[in-house]
Amino acid sequence: MNERKGFVEPKFLEELRQKNEITEVISSYVALDKKGNTHWACCPFHHERTPSFAVNEADQFYHCFGCGVSGDVIKFVREIESTDFMGAVRILAARAKLEVPENNFDSEKAVQAKKKRDSLAAIMLDSARFYRANLYSGDSLADAHLEYISNRQMSPTTVKKFGIGASLDFFGLADYLQDKGYSRADLLDSGVLTESKSGKLIDSQGGRLIFPIINAFDEVVAFGGRLLEKRDFAKYKNTKETMLFNKSKTLYNINLLKKLKRTQPIKEVIIVEGYMDTISLYQAGFENVVASMGTSLTKDQARLVKRYSENILISYDGDFAGQKADLRGLEILKDEHLNVKVVPMPEGLDPDDVAKQGADAYQKCLDAAMPLIDYKIHALERKYDIKKSEEKRQFLSEALKVVKTAESETVKEELLKKLRDKTGITYQSLERDLSSVKKEQKQEMPTPKTTIVEAGQGSDKNVKAARFILAAKLFSATYAQSFDVKSVEFSVDVHRVIAEYIIEREGKGERIRPSELFEILDEDCAEFNEILDLNYGDKLSGEVAERFFADSVKALQREFLEKQIGALKAKIETETDEEKKKQLTVQLSESMLKKKKIR
């Protein structure tokens, strides 16, 4: 169940929700239309024309009857702002002018950590301002930086948008920051400065063109620097990892992607490798772009980008296929249930090169995007010369292994036909060879608690019955008010938790508030969303609903008795004590009689 409450005192969270009325918060992001006791809108989390996103003002929660998302005010802000739980808490606290009690993290160490983080963040911001001022300072040392910007066709607007700056030497930034009073320890820990052999503080990005790396909260967390002349150093260099910056958890341009999401739904996100690819595409009109900054994609980056869209377009260099034919890194995106396509680029060109040819030229590349499995075969084509017999056999051997991973027989058939057309080998031969290919075993992830019903607990009929009973109780259906939830057994974990909540509230004579369950259940509880779906229209009202409720109660009672009867029979068969056997037989007769009476 949900452990988020452990981060902040429940008392503070209660005050936070009280001072952030859910309809007021949501209406600041989407237009709400009140009908009866419910506010309606087109869902901000999926595309729709007819409003199905409902905000329950009385119980302070939202639920979309289209895509199934639901939650309280904290969950809404977390999703709409693409942040985590504590990020949403801080946003709402700022809105309500409340101070987040950081000392609730239960240690002076945490308070000191926050102080340290704030100092590093201030250093990064001052550094970004310093670099930016350098670029247009008129200093002759900035001429090379401005020439590079001009040669790469970056407009002044783009330069300003991305906060691009210049490091003119190794000592200017160090002097500037030390004059501001920052401690030596913090300056070194920020990563912007390093020590020379003589112990003097120097600029880590000395002499480079500077690309600020900004997180989703508009905080400068690191810098990327590019050399302007050929030297025995890496062309690009990032700030070392710090308290603020973890490269594997960061995507370049995520801050502007977040701003884009506030203005419109993002259908798909383009992922490129570097700063210039990102900037060129953005300038060409493709604002839905982020960069992995030259590293292999990580699970954290996949989860980060998933907050903005589930459709991902990978747009790497034209020689990407030749360098990384197995594309295993992109499987991480697929493992996070993202829809991945790969954008084929002209040989030897990267997105930056194509974008300079115009938006239409790059759009043609996007239009040719292939599903990941198709691109794997495309990559193999570029690896082997299938005109040569030996290489054609190697190509087919590897290509069939790729086909074997297809999730449906339809896709396998389609891919085999493409292989037939490329190689001239008959479909039947390819199909026979495919059947002998062993599929690579992949470790299965454990089934999440939130979808426990999908694991087969309870029959579908009884699961639906349990949902209806709980929905009727949660939303105070007249016919369910006097019903005692303790009189039935629930076989699904989520249902049991909800039932316990109802029993506890009724036992204390307190009002049942469905919104409180968002703090008890796991995040994105699919089974709870199914129950919330029943609170729509007249599903819970009228004679039909009342009869279905009664039938549902009987269904669960029968299910419980059937299990009880089966258990008693098993005990009787193994029991050797005659007296105990008689007692069990009596219990069996009573259970069978109760079951018979339920009609």
Residue 107: what pLDDT?
52
Q: Is the pLDDT of residue 210 over 90?
A: yes
Q: Is the pLDDT of residue 207 over 60?
A: yes
What's the CATH number for 458-597? 1.10.860
State the average pLDDT over residues 423-440: 86
Q: Is the pLDDT of residue 487 over 90?
A: no
Three-state secondary structure call for residue 28: coil
Q: Is the pLDDT of residue 87 over 50?
A: yes
Residue 444: what pLDDT?
41
Residue 599: what pLDDT?
65
Do 193 and 202 form a contact (C-beta atoms < 8 A)? Answer: yes
Do 154 and 283 form a contact (C-beta atoms < 8 A)? Answer: yes
State the average pLDDT over residues 89-95: 91
One of 3.90.1150.10, 3.40.1360.10, 3.40.228.10, 3.30.450.70 is the CATH number of 246-372, namely: 3.40.1360.10
Q: Which fold has domain 111-244?
A: DNA primase DNAg catalytic core, N-terminal domain (3.90.980)
Contacts of residue 414, defined as CB under 8 A and 6 or more positions apart, other chains included, come to: none
| Helix (H), strand (E) counts: the chain | 25, 16
Q: Which two tokens stand for residue 326?
A: 């197995």
Q: Which two tokens stand for residue 414?
A: 């389609």
Confidence of residue 3 (pLDDT cuts 50, 70, 90): very low
Q: Is the pLDDT of residue 440 over 50?
A: yes
pLDDT digits (tens, 9 = 90+) for 519-565: 788 666 788 888 988 887 778 888 899 989 988 988 888 888 888 88
Q: Is the pLDDT of residue 251 over 80?
A: yes
Element (H, E) at 38: strand 38-41
State the average pLDDT over residues 449-460: 42
**Closest to 338 (Cα-Cα) out of 239, 421, 250, 266:** 266
Q: Is the pLDDT of residue 449 over 50?
A: no
Three-state secondary structure call for residue 72: coil
Element (H, E) at 70: strand 70-71
Three-state secondary structure call for residue 237: strand
pLDDT digits (tens, 9 = 90+) for 125-171: 999 999 999 999 999 999 999 999 999 999 999 999 999 999 999 99
Residue 325: what pLDDT?
38
Of the given ranges (248-252, 362-366, 516-520), which has the lowest mean pLDDT? 516-520
Taking the domains of the chain in order of start, what are their residue ranges?
4-104, 111-244, 246-372, 384-438, 458-597
State the average pLDDT over residues 436-460: 48
Fold equal for 111-244 and 458-597: no
What are the residues facing 212 on neighbouring strands?
223
What's the CATH number for 4-104? 3.90.580.10
State the average pLDDT over residues 70-77: 91
What are the residues facing 312 on neighbouring strands?
269, 340
Residue 455: what pLDDT?
33
Q: Among residues of the chain, what percentage have pLDDT more than 70?
A: 90
State the average pLDDT over residues 238-249: 91
Of the given ranges (325-334, 479-488, 491-500, 533-542), which has the lowest mean pLDDT? 325-334
Of the given ranges (128-132, 322-326, 446-450, 539-543), which has the lowest mean pLDDT? 446-450
pLDDT digits (tens, 9 = 90+) for 224-234: 999 998 776 77
Element (H, E) at 94: helix 85-95
Three-state secondary structure call for residue 340: strand
Residue 330: what pLDDT?
81
Confidence of residue 331 (pLDDT cuts 50, 70, 90): confident
CB atoms within 10 A of CB 599: 6
Residue 320: what pLDDT?
65
What are the residues facing 273 on neighbouring strands?
none
